[in-house]
């Protein structure tokens, strides 16, 4: 299961929890003639709040790890998503401190609760909801197509010069860390989304296509990828050569 799928499922957990929170709140404050046992409802509301926060922490951990790992500039959607998360944390802290300490503001707690639920929905829609939609509920193949930068694959094979100078290798490493690192582990053969790259050009064959492990075939994989990898056909020849120079050191 991809981490994105897992994260989206946890996101659904957050939504359910938000609905439970609003429902219990409405029952506690909203009815003139109480239907359920108020003490019980309060307990459910509190336990549910804790569950919400645990899910929230889990998901934040994924997100922060992803940002650190990919070093990606956030998209507008990701920015909206993370800002919503920050606002939710602030509102939650405010709500808990009003309930526990600043009781004079108690009436505002309900509005804050509604706001938290509302922003939770927006936050989910911008990430988990979006992801589940574009992947047709988590099939990774659709995700690959969705993240793919491939338009028309460039068909000619790529001819390259294998560089070994430290400057090219350094540039290649930087590019690798921003474009490839998310799906590949450079220093092991563990499979992430794609195969690990340790010894990629030292072994006789490439791991998936079983083509000879030559610099040309590695460069070709970047431009006209075999199977499910997105194409990086927009990279300059020089960038591709630098990435291959780095792959050659692994």
Q: Per rule CB under 6 A, is residue 183 in the interface with ligand HEC?
A: yes
Write out the two tokens for 234. Answer: 């927009």
Residue span 219-238 as binding mask against ligand HEC, x where in contact by CB under 6 A, dash where not: --xx---xxxxx-x------
Q: How far is the CB of 112 from ligand HEC (least distance, A)?
A: 39
Instruction: Check: CB of residue 187 under 8 Å from CB of residue 250.
Output: yes
Give the integer Cα–Cα distance in Å for 112 and 88. 10
Of 7 and 95, which CB lies nearer to ligand HEC in the complex structure? 7
- For ligand HEC, which stretch binds (CB under 6 A), given 92-100, 103-111, 131-139, 174-182? 174-182
Q: At CA 126, angle to CA 112 and CA 131, rounded to 5?
A: 140
Of 22 and 144, which CB lies nearer to ligand HEC in the complex structure? 144
Q: Per rule CB under 6 A, is residue 147 in the interface with ligand HEC?
A: yes
Choosing from 7, 45, 184, 223, the residue that interacts with ligand HEC (CB under 6 A) is: 184
What is the maximal distance between C-alpha atoms in the chain? 81
Give the integer Cα–Cα distance in Å for 187 and 200. 10
Instruction: Check: CB of residue 81 under 8 Å from CB of residue 126.
Output: yes
Q: Per rule CB under 6 A, is residue 207 in the interface with ligand HEC?
A: yes
Give the integer Cα–Cα distance in Å for 240 and 217. 12
Residue span 72-91 as binding mask against ligand HEC, x where in contact by CB under 6 A, dash where not: --------------------
Q: How far is the CB of 6 from ligand HEC (least distance, A)?
A: 17
Give the integer Cα–Cα distance in Å for 140 and 130. 14
Residue in 185, 167, 184 with CA at minimum distance from that of residue 241: 167
Which residues sit at the interface with ligand HEC, rule CB under 6 A? Answer: 147, 179-180, 182-184, 193-195, 200, 206-209, 211, 218, 221-222, 226-230, 232, 243
């Amino acid at each position: 299961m991809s981490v994105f799928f897992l994260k989206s499922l946890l996101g659904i957990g957050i939504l359910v929890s938000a609905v439970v929170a609003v429902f219990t709140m409405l029952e506690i404050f909203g009815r003139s003639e109480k239907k359920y046992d108020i003490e019980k409802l309060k307990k459910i509301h509190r336990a549910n709040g804790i569950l919400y926060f645990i899910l929230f922490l889990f998901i934040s951990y994924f997100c922060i790890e992803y940002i650190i790992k990919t070093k990606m500039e956030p998209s507008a959607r990701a920015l909206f998503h993370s800002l919503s998360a920050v606002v939710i944390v602030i509102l939650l802290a405010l709500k808990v401190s009003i309930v526990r300490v600043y009781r004079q503001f108690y009436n505002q707690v309900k509005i804050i609760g509604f706001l938290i639920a509302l922003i939770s929905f927006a936050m989910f829609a911008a990430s988990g909801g979006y992801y589940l939609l574009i992947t047709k509920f988590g099939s990774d193949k659709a995700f690959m197509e969705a993240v793919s930068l491939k338009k028309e694959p460039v068909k000619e094979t790529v001819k390259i010069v294998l560089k070994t100078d430290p400057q090219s290798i350094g540039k290649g490493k930087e590019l690798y860390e921003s474009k490839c690192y998310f799906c590949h582990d450079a220093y092991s053969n563990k499979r992430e989304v794609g195969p690990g790259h340790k010894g990629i050009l030292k072994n006789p064959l490439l791991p998936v296509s079983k083509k000879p492990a030559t610099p040309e075939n590695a460069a070709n994989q970047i431009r006209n990828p075999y199977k499910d990898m997105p194409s990086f056909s927009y990279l300059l020849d020089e960038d591709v050569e630098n990435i291959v120079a780095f792959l050659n050191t692994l």
